[in-house]
Amino acid sequence: MVSKRKHVKENSTIQRFNDSTNEQLMINISKEGYYGRFGGAFIPEMLHPNVEEIRQTYVEMIKDESFQKEFRHLLRDYVGRPTPLFLAQRLSEKYQTNIYLKREDLCHTGAHKVNNTIGQILLAKRLGKKRIIAETGAGQHGVATATVCALMGLPCVVYMGAVDIERQQPNVSRMKMLGAEVRPATSGSQTLKDATNEAIRDWINNPEDTHYIIGSVVGPHPYPDMVARFQSVISEEIKWQLEAATGKPNPDLIIACVGGGSNAAGAFYHYLNEEEVRLIAVEASGLGVDSGESAATSVLGTEGIIHGSRTLLMQTPDGQIIEPYSISAGLDYPGIGPMHAHLIQSGRAEAVHITDQEALNAAYDLSKREGIIPALETAHAFAALDKIEFKKSDVIVVNLSGRGDKDLNTYIKHLG
Amino acid sequence: MFRLEKTFKNKNQQLLNVYFTAGFPALKDTETIIRSLSKSGVDVIEVGMPYSDPMADGPTIQKSGMQALENGMSVSVLFAQLEKIREEVETPLVLMGYFNQVMQFGEEAFLKRCQAVGVDGLILPDLPLSVYENEYQDLFKKYDLAPIFLITPQTSEERIRKIDQLSRGFIYVVSSAAITGNSKEISPEQVAYFERIENMNLRLPRMIGFGISDHQSFTTACQYADGAIIGSAFIRALENGEGELEKTIEEFVKGIRNKPITI
B118 band by pLDDT with thresholds 50, 70 and 90: very high
Catalytic residue among B46, B120, B164, B226: B46
Position A191 confidence tier, pLDDT thresholds 50, 70, 90: confident
Q: Is A193 on the interface with B (CB under 8 A)?
A: yes
B263 located within any domain: no
User: What's the complex ipTM?
Assistant: 0.92
Q: How far is A274 from chain B (nearest CA, A)?
A: 33
Domain membership of residue B197 (yes or no) is yes
Active site residue A401: yes
> Is pLDDT above 70 for B177?
no
Pairwise CA distance, residues B19 & B227, whole Å: 13
B46 is catalytic: yes
Nearest CA in chain A to B74: A318
For residue B75, list chain A residues with Cβ-Cβ distance below 8 A: 318-319
CA distance A96 to A255: 17
- B76 contacts A205? CB cut-off 8 A: no
Q: Reply yes or no on whether the pLDDT at A227 is more than 90.
A: yes
Q: CA dihedral in degrees (A150, A155, A160, A164; nearest 10)?
A: 30
Mutate one of A30, A34, A38, A42 to test the B interface: name it (highest B CB count within 10 A): A42
Residues in chain B closer than 8 A to A200 (CB atoms): 55
| Count of A-B CB contacts under 8 Å | 106
Kindly report the CATH number assigned to the domain that includes residue B112.
3.20.20.70
B252 domain-assigned: yes
Cβ–Cβ of B128/A317 closer than 8 Å?
A: no
Write down the pLDDT at residue A86.
Answer: 98
Q: Which residues of B touch A (CB under 8 A)?
A: 51-53, 55-56, 58, 62, 66, 69, 74-76, 98-105, 125-131, 149-152, 154-156, 159, 174, 177-179, 182
For residue A45, give the nearest of B51, B131, B150 by CB distance. Answer: B150
- Residues B39-89 pLDDT 10s: 999 999 999 999 999 999 988 999 999 999 999 999 999 999 999 999 999
Among B31, B47, B28, which residue's Cα sits nearest to residue B39? B31
Nearest by CB to A319, from B56, B104, B128: name it.
B104
Instruction: Give which of A48, A190, A200 to mutate to test B binding, by max B Cβ within 10 Å.
Output: A48
Number of domains in chain B: 1
A203, B27, B31, B32, B89 from B40: Cα distances, Å = 37, 22, 14, 12, 12
Selected residue of B21, B52, B63, B189 to mutate for chain A interface (largest A Cβ count, 10 A): B52
Contact state of A318 with B152 under an 8 Å Cβ cutoff: no
Q: Which chain A residue is nearest to residue B172, measuring alpha carbons? A: A45
Task: Out of A102, A104, A113, A129, pick the active-site residue.
Answer: A113
Give CA–CA dist A297/B80, Å, rounded: 31
Check residue A131 and give left, alpha or beta (phi > 0: left; psi -120 to 50: alpha). Answer: beta
pLDDT confidence band for A17 (50 / 70 / 90): very low
- Looking at residue A19, its pLDDT comes to 41
Is the residue at B34 inside a domain?
yes
Please tell me the predicted confidence (pLDDT) of residue A28: 77
How far from B144 is each of B87, B115, B116, B172, CA to CA, in Å?
19, 7, 10, 19
Q: Is residue B218 part of a domain?
A: yes
Q: pLDDT tens, A354-376?
A: 999 999 999 999 999 999 999 99
Chain B residue nearest residue A334, CA to CA: B53
Which residues in chain B are contacts of A207 at CB distance < 8 A?
152, 154, 177
pLDDT value at B153 more than 60: yes
| B125 contacts on A by Cβ (under 8 Å) | 44-45
Measured between CA atoms, the residue of chain A closest to residue B124 is A44
Q: Contact A398/A99 with Cβ under 8 angstroms?
A: yes
Full residue range of the structural domain in which residue B38 is found:
2-258
Residue B67 covered by a domain = yes
User: One-letter amino acid identity for B216?
Assistant: Q
| Minimum Cα–Cα distance from A207: chain B residue | B177
Listing DSSP states for A321-339 in one string gives BPP---SSTTT--SB--HH
Question: What is the per-residue pLDDT across A99-141, written as a single tens digit (0 to 9) for each?
Answer: 999 999 999 999 999 999 999 999 999 999 999 999 999 899 9
In a domain, B196, yes or no: yes
Residue B55 lies in a domain: yes
